């Protein structure tokens, strides 16, 4: 237990860098998707640059952070096995599984875009980009308030957040249609 705080700190650091990668990679996807609609040579220059940026972000920051966050999480669970009997931990692990599903779907999109296969619109990608935000909010509130959480209010809060994010996306789309430079 003397190493608990160090392991916990490392877990949090890599969770933060993992989320940073998951927040930024869809933004790069959006820019790359939009670059496919440009004229040459701008199209080639931009898509090649976004491919390179995505590749570096994905393989140098995001994937290693996911793996290291998980290793330190398993270490914490090994150190404090009674957490596995706590209902809040079951829910948290469910969100972690959901986060890995989100991560793997981003990996599939990454691979497609690296091969010049565009199956998403930039607007749908903006909506997809909010998935990690909803997971982050859910996990943080769950871990901080644990058993004190009123599940009804928690669920309502997540839905309100999702609605606010969608309204923000629609507002941004409307502003952007009036001013393409926004």
11 is in an annotated binding site: yes
Annotated binding-site residue? 170? no
Dihedral over alpha carbons 34, 108, 16, 131 (to 10 degrees): 70
| CB-CB contact of 30 with 102 (8 Å) | no
| Block residue for tokens 């290693």 | 64
Does residue 50 contact residue 28 with C-beta atoms inside 8 Å? yes
Tokens of 119: 């199956």
Distance CA 77, CA 93 (A): 11
Annotated binding site for heme: 11, 92
Annotated binding site: 11, 92
């Amino acid at each position: 237990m003397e190493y608990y705080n160090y392991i916990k700190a490392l877990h949090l650091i890599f969770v933060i860098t993992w989320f940073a990668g998951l927040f930024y990679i869809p933004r790069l996807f959006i820019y790359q998707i939009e670059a496919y609609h440009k004229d040459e040579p701008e199209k080639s220059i931009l898509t090649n640059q976004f491919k390179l940026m995505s590749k570096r972000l994905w393989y140098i920051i995001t994937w290693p952070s996911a793996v290291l966050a998980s290793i330190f999480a398993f270490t914490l669970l090994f150190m404090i096995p009674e957490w596995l009997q706590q209902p809040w931990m079951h829910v948290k692990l469910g969100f972690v599984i959901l986060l890995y599903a989100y991560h793997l779907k981003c990996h599939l999109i990454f691979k497609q875009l690296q091969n010049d296969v565009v199956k998403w619109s930039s607007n749908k990608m903006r909506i997809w980009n909010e998935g990690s935000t909803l997971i982050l909010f859910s996990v943080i509130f769950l871990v901080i308030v644990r058993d004190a959480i009123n599940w009804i209010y928690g669920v309502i809060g997540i839905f309100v957040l999702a609605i606010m994010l969608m309204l923000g996306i629609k507002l941004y789309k409307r502003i952007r249609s009036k001013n393409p430079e926004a």
